[in-house]
Amino acid sequence: MGEAQPTPTRCGYVALIGAPNSGKSTLLNRLVGRKLAIVTPKAQTTRNRLLGIAIEGPAQIVFVDTPGIFAPRRRLDRAMVAAAWSGAEDADEALLLVDASRGIDRDTRRILDRLARRSRRSILALNKIDLVPRESLLGLTDALSREGLFDPIFMISGLKGDGVEDVKRHLAASLPQGPWLFPEDQLSDAPERLIAAEVTREQVFLQLHDELPYASTVETEQWEDKADGSVRIEQVIYVQRPSQRAIVLGEGGKRIKTIGARARAELEHMLERRVHLFLFVKVRQNWIDDRERFEALGLDYDA
């Protein structure tokens, strides 16, 4: 009698793509079971790819969060959209998220048109189903399935968790057989300095409005592990104009104080240690066309 064969391991990349604000980063965090990607109610929050690694039985699923895909205008937009598409092209599977409360909007239409040129099918997740009545989901699912681009189609709520385990199980079974590409306990590829900058950028998106979130970027400049186990982090928030710097600082420095306080609390939670966070606001008119800033974000300046 032969011994039972161990189940072969599987591993592969699954890119989460979709229009801005469709819920990609929320879903990534839910799939991994940890907050890795920043999430805000504003569109175009995510600026670059981020890996989130999940284990489902014998499968290691490497999820790729990507920036939203939209009609780019600025150089930064172009680099973001290019990063999203290359994330999809490099992956074993592309999982398109459609916000069920928005339906097939212009950005999603563009994505569908480009997916139609691919030789293989993608997976569809109709997301935010908690926001719409069941009846209206059927019409939208029908319209999307008639595109002939998707197999299978899931209905999920990344926020509440409905349907997410089904997606995970499906992917675990369909990824190619092969060895795991990352150590079992690794959750992401993002360096801590970058995640720390993202946490502050999340506060910039949450606490500032109009053009400001889009006119700013955050970089970690110093990271010093202290002997007492705490960490000292210095970050720069770049803005484009002195008037924007004044808004970020706020009256009597109130705004920057709140941004710093909330970012620090979040960082202490994520890093599980004490954090001393120092924020500086610098005016750099052309940061948005500055090769160095793109490199800090890991984006391709010439995309």
Binding site for ligand GTP (CB under 6 A): 18, 20-26, 39-41, 43-46, 67-68, 127-128, 130-131, 157-159
Q: Which residues bind Mg ion (CB under 5 A)?
A: 24-25, 45-46
Residue closer to ligand GTP by CB (options 45, 244) is 45
Is residue 143 packed enough to be buried (19+ CB in 10 Å), middle (13-18) or exposed (0-12)? exposed
Count CB-CB contacts under 10 A for residue 111: 27
- List the single partner that 159 binds among ligand GTP, Mg ion, none, CB under 5 to 8 Å by kind: ligand GTP
Write down the least CB distance from residue 135 to Mg ion, Å.
29
Length of the chain counted residue by residue: 303
List the beta strands (DSSP E) in the chain: 10-18, 50-56, 59-65, 93-99, 122-127, 150-155, 217-225, 231-239, 275-283
Write down the least CB distance from residue 228 to ligand GTP, Å.
35
Which residue of the chain is nearest ligand GTP when measured via CB? 68
Write down the least CB distance from residue 12 to ligand GTP, Å.
21
- List the single partner that 235 binds among Mg ion, ligand GTP, none, CB under 5 to 8 Å by kind: none
Write down the least CB distance from residue 110 to ligand GTP, Å.
14
Residue closer to Mg ion by CB (options 24, 49) is 24
Residue closer to Mg ion by CB (options 20, 260) is 20
Assess contact for 239 and 210: CB atoms under 8 A: no
Residue closer to ligand GTP by CB (options 11, 38) is 38
CA distance 12 to 170: 13
Task: State phi, psi for 155 to the nearest 5 degrees.
Answer: -115, 120
Residue closer to ligand GTP by CB (options 39, 256) is 39
Give all strands of the β-sheet with 150-155 in edge-to-edge order: 50-56, 59-65, 10-18, 93-99, 122-127, 150-155
Write down the least CB distance from residue 291 to Mg ion, Å.
24
